[in-house]
Amino acid sequence: MTKKAQHDASMRAQNHSPGATRMERDTMGELAVPASAYYGVQTARAVENFPISDLRFPRSFIKATGLIKHAAAKVNAALGLLDQKIAEAILTASREVIDGCWDHEFPVDIFQTGSGTSTNMNANEVIANRATELLGGARGSKLVHPNDHVNLGQSSNDVIPTAIHVAAIDGIEHQLVPALSRLQRALAGKAQEFETIVKIGRTHLQDATPVRLGQEFGGYARQIALGLERARHAQCVMSEVALGGTAVGTGLNAHPEFAGRVLTLIAQEIGCPFQEATNHFEAQSTQDSLVEASDALRTLAVSLMKIANDVRWLGSGPRCGLGEIVLPETQPGSSIMPGKVNPVIAESVTMVAAQVIGNDVTMTVGGQAGNFELLVMLPVMAYNLLQSIELLANAANNFSARCIEGIKADEERCRTFIEQSLAMCTGLAPEIGYDAAAKLAKEAYRTGKTVREIARAQKVLPEDRLTALLDPWRMTEPGGPVGSAGG
């Protein structure tokens, strides 16, 4: 909070006793509003009407809404539609909203009017009352009017979807992309570090032919690289926004240059491009772009779930599991078993993935709620999409820092498992045939010996050829004798 805002907050505390109210009027009549509040009568009605949950719009959405109001005031002043002094006061007040000074003044529940009108008016009232105060007026006096001045050229029906897009693109750009980039680098680094370590592969949770540990981690790195591409594509599909369509998509009461100019200013702030919707009826009656963006996040969550679960399995043990990798120890794992350490970071990632997958279901349902000229599940879609972005960013960062970057390989355990694996017989199949190789594997399993030992005892191939075909490194590369590779 700025020094001026802190001073003003202090003055408010001195001038308003706890429980004091002021009376405000809207088109439905009078209602008492807390005297110290910057929000006004429409926000107070919404607080009364929607006592549903403790869920509120996140900081990212409030910031985006403030950005729209700030840019709108600047553009409306430049177009000669807004008095310069009023515009300057709105600019100062909306900048404080952008900076997070008044987040506590946004008390409206997520489960409200499907257009988000209550929250748009919440922003209009906070900015109008703060601007009024800056001009020397009393809160509630409407010296700066929430509709006529702050909401000039706008409707909740184009502001709220635009704010969702702006907040989501901002979150992807400055939270999710950096986090995924770090995770991708960490996984790629481990792929290189573990490139020479050969281990047993597994399909159906059963032994399969050898792979290099680096190859496994290279697969994980590629998953995240593709996730980054999907996140970037999500930004692209959300870059067309509804602003300028006003109530139903016709643009009534908005200057023809308003939306384009506002979006130019927002793009400069965020560092990402935005453009007015090609078709405003599509932009306001649907939110297919948000559904598509959520799908990209769900896919990323699925990738993280796979990687986190593999890490848990590969690090299981430490003595009676797979134990091919050693995970960083982060905290005691049991309240009853001394010395136990659990893969808690990976587990937290799987729970984030589950939440994001669930959020996507709500996004899908919300995307079907377009009735004629307006989609009416915008608040819950905003909450879920922005939560998914934040959760995935935080989880990816934490996964990198507290798990992936500190993973070590147990090379000896990897070597031991390879020699014991019955799948080693696959390397012999092209020369001795599938059935003969299977017979060797079954005999090795029955006797507790290795495939190499049984093959050597039965003299199925000369020693030098046997050594070449059962070389684990050779099995991790394409080529070699042609034949069935199993499944």
First-last CA distance in the chain: 61
* Calpha distance 32→2 (Å, rounded): 29
390 dihedral zone (left: phi>0; alpha: psi -120 to 50; beta): alpha
Strand 240-241 and strand 275-276: the pairing is parallel
* Calpha distance 212→218 (Å, rounded): 10
Rounded to the nearest angstrom, the gap between the alpha carbon of residue 185 and the centroid of all alpha carbons in its chain is 18
7, 10, 104, 334: which is the annotated catalytic residue?
334
Is 484 a catalytic site residue? Answer: no
For residue 447, give Cα distances in angstroms to 203, 433, 442, 478: 24, 21, 9, 31
Q: What is the dihedral of CA 122, 123, 128, 130, to 10 degrees?
A: 100
Cα-Cα-Cα-Cα dihedral sign, residues 137, 140, 141, 146: positive
Take residue 341 and report the two structure tokens written for it: 């350490």
* Cis peptide bond upstream of 34, omega within 30: no
Neighbours of 80 (CB within 10 A): 9
Q: DSSP letter string over 63-130?
A: HHHHHHHHHHHHHHHHTT-S-HHHHHHHHHHHHHHHTTTTGGG---BSSS-TT-HHHHHHHHHHHHHH
Q: Which residues pair with 203 in a beta bridge?
A: 206
Please give the backbone phi and psi of residue 408, each rounded to the nearest 5 degrees, phi first.
-120, 160
204, 239, 285, 316: which is the annotated catalytic residue?
204
* Calpha distance 295→360 (Å, rounded): 7
* Calpha distance 372→386 (Å, rounded): 26
Is 60 a catalytic site residue? Answer: no
Take residue 23 and report the two structure tokens written for it: 């009376």
The contacts of residue 169 (CB under 8 Å, 6+ apart) are 235, 238, 239, 270, 272, 274
Active-site annotation, residues: 204, 334
